[in-house]
Amino acid sequence: MLNAISRHTNPVLWFALTALVLAASLPTSARAASWAEVGDRTLRSDIELLAARGLIDGPITTWPIPVGFFTGLLDESRLDKQPEFIRLAAYRVLDKLGGRNGNHGWKPTTDLRLATEPNLVRGFGASARDQADVRGGLAYEGDTVAARFQVGTQTRLQGGNPKPTFDGSYISFLAGNWQIYGGLVDQWYGPGWTSALTLSNNARPFPKIGLLRNNPHAFETPWLSWLGTWQLNFFVGLLEENTRQDRNTGVGSLRISIEPAKGLELTVSRIAEFCGGDNRCSPFQAAFGINNTNSNRNASNDEGTFEIKYTKDFNVLSFSPYLQISNEDTGPFTHSFETYLGGLSWAGPWGKDGAHWRLITEYTDSRATLDAFSFGTRQVGAAYNNDQYTDGYRYRGRTLGFSLDSESTLFSLVGSVTDTRGWTYRVAYYNAHINTAELAAVQATGSPIRNIVSARPVTVNQIEAGLTVPYRDFQFDLSLRAQDKRPFPGTSGQANAELGISYHF
């Protein structure tokens, strides 16, 4: 009987029901939320401000960020001498994580997003992946366990084929300083605000189990204390969509970030696809085989990154340049097929009442170079494509990393102001070059080496205006966008709008 049920039931549903049973059996006790989640631009801006001031310790480019990073904010004496815009940022972070209002026990959750068309450029903020993206459920916060069960759908408003989704469902256990988690959790790897090269919230989250440190405190031994505060995130997941050519592809990742000096964050990460379809299944080799050449090929599809972010606070202004370099499936130094992301973020007070502003400029380039910085020699279509894993680094129709997929560049300029009420006003300009003539020619032959956003080269200019309004336990997001062209087979420009409503008790 159980075997018959399991053949027709999404395994995530079994996970979610198990999570609720476990949570229901536990006593209710006060605890903050498990982590700061991907998708809230205002929350991220506040966290960046507090980190620049030294009020949050540890690397903050691996999302979600566990609640242990924010325990220092509960010490009011640390905030007494801070300017008003810093204190308000701290209070907003604590309120959203339940640190000041005794957030505990069971609570309902709802996320509703409606868009005339989903956004072409999907950045850190939450946005609809189709015209309707709706989910709701229950969440539990306890002393050492947190769980959330959400069910929803993602579909077109007319002519769509709604199917249930369990995105955002998870269970998390705190064991000492380790947070063990499982579920469908959005993750963001990197310092970028508009893009992340290897793992972002562009695609829907896939089921995974993993662990990360709850508090990033440094090693006590002199041999390792020089590393400073550090974070580790490890997970193993499954790309289980029915339409995937390489069915049931495994994916695993290890990411380590250190802060050896104040404001300096260094990160290395590795993510690999393994098994699935007709590929040789060698998880051990996928984990430890870092070299891949034509004469000595491994059985996995690998990506690695090196990242550097530096933050300097000048009391009035904070300044943060950052760089992320991704290595695609080969040796780390030669024939490495590198892609790049770089940016600069500025932030400071807006007036004297506690508002703050932020200005971000960022450039992403997924046109892979043969070696690091060898921009004259490119490997067409290397990013997110692989001849062994024909689906590449994609899940349910979207790239796991950069939203514009392979052979594309994106320049973004984003400005925002968060006022004393927590309202955030945002304007953005994007210049996107999607696909290249070289890749389009390969794609036209029917090759799996492709760009899934546009089959032909297109340049798109887009402007966006947005407003985020918190009201009690609700948060409202409104975005208005206009672009001069659309990806192929679209032609003319278009304007679109998106409304998001979330409720977290």
**What is the tens place of the pLDDT at every residue in 169-221?**
999 999 999 999 999 999 999 999 999 999 999 999 999 999 999 999 999 99
Percent of the chain with pLDDT over 70: 87
Beta strand pairing status for 394-395 and 132-141? unpaired
The amino acid occupying position 452 is: I
3-class state of residue 211 by DSSP? strand
Identify which has the larger pLDDT, 472 or 319.
319
Instruction: Report residue 158's pLDDT band, with 50, 70 and 90 as the boundaries.
Output: confident
Is the previous residue joined to 489 through a cis bond, with omega within 30 degrees of 0? yes
DSSP E strand stretches across 97-177: 105-115, 132-141, 145-155, 164-165, 170-175
- Single out the residue of 384, 395, 451, 385 nearest to residue 247, CA to CA: 395
Beta strand pairing status for 164-165 and 338-350? unpaired
Q: Is the pLDDT of residue 7 over 60?
A: no
CB atoms within 10 A of CB 313: 19
> Burial code of 245-267, b = ≥16 C-beta within 10 A, e = fewer?
ebeebbbbbbbbbbbeeebebbb
Q: Is the pLDDT of residue 21 over 50?
A: no
Percent of the chain with pLDDT over 90: 68
Q: Is the pLDDT of residue 118 over 70?
A: yes
In angstroms, the CA 178 to CA 210 distance is 10
pLDDT of 370 reads 84
pLDDT of 298 reads 66
pLDDT of 276 reads 81
- Single out the residue of 416, 409, 453, 451 nearest to residue 431, CA to CA: 409
Minimum mean pLDDT among 106-115, 177-186, 332-341: which range?
332-341
Identify which has the larger pLDDT, 297 or 437.
437
State the first-to-last Cα distance of the chain, in angstroms, to the nearest integer.
Answer: 38
In angstroms, the CA 410 to CA 460 distance is 10
In angstroms, the CA 426 to CA 500 distance is 15
Instruction: Report residue 102's pLDDT band, with 50, 70 and 90 as the boundaries.
Output: low
In angstroms, the CA 151 to CA 17 distance is 11
Burial class from Cβ neighbours inside 10 Å (0-12, 13-18, 19+) for residue 492 reads: exposed
Instruction: Report residue 292's pLDDT band, with 50, 70 and 90 as the boundaries.
Output: low
Q: Please give the backbone phi and psi of residue 344, each rounded to the nearest 5 degrees, phi first.
A: -145, 130
In angstroms, the CA 424 to CA 347 distance is 14
> Burial code of 133-168, b = ≥16 C-beta within 10 A, e = fewer?
bbbebbbbbbeebbbbbbbbbbbeeeeeeeeebbbb
HEC assignment per residue over 405-470: CCCCEEEEEEEEEECCCCCEEEEEEEEEEECCHHHHHHHHCCCCCCCCCCCCCEEEEEEEEEEEEE
Indicate the average pLDDT of the chain. 87
Identify which has the larger pLDDT, 488 or 459.
459
Measure the CA angle with vertex 33, ends 32 and 36; round to 5°.
125
The amino acid occupying position 117 is: E
pLDDT of 28 reads 37
Q: Is the pLDDT of residue 3 over 60?
A: no
- The whole-angstrom distance between residue 37's C-alpha and the CA centroid of its chain comes to 9
Average pLDDT rounded to a whole number, residues 367-395: 87
Average pLDDT rounded to a whole number, residues 16-31: 42
Distances (CA, A) of 252 to 101, 335, 351: 37, 23, 46
Identify which has the larger pLDDT, 457 or 5.
457
Both tokens assigned to 53: 């001031």
3-class state of residue 83 by DSSP? coil
Instruction: Report residue 100's pLDDT band, with 50, 70 and 90 as the boundaries.
Output: low
Average pLDDT rounded to a whole number, residues 331-346: 84
3-class state of residue 160 by DSSP? coil
Instruction: Report residue 473's pLDDT band, with 50, 70 and 90 as the boundaries.
Output: confident
pLDDT of 13 reads 42
pLDDT of 329 reads 62
Tell me the per-residue pLDDT of 230-256, one tens digit each, with 9 for 90 and over: 999 999 999 988 888 888 899 999 999
Instruction: Report residue 101's pLDDT band, with 50, 70 and 90 as the boundaries.
Output: low
Minimum mean pLDDT among 87-101, 134-148, 178-192: which range?
87-101
pLDDT of 142 reads 84
In angstroms, the CA 132 to CA 160 distance is 10
Fold assignment, 10-504: Porin (2.40.160)
Average pLDDT rounded to a whole number, residues 345-354: 95
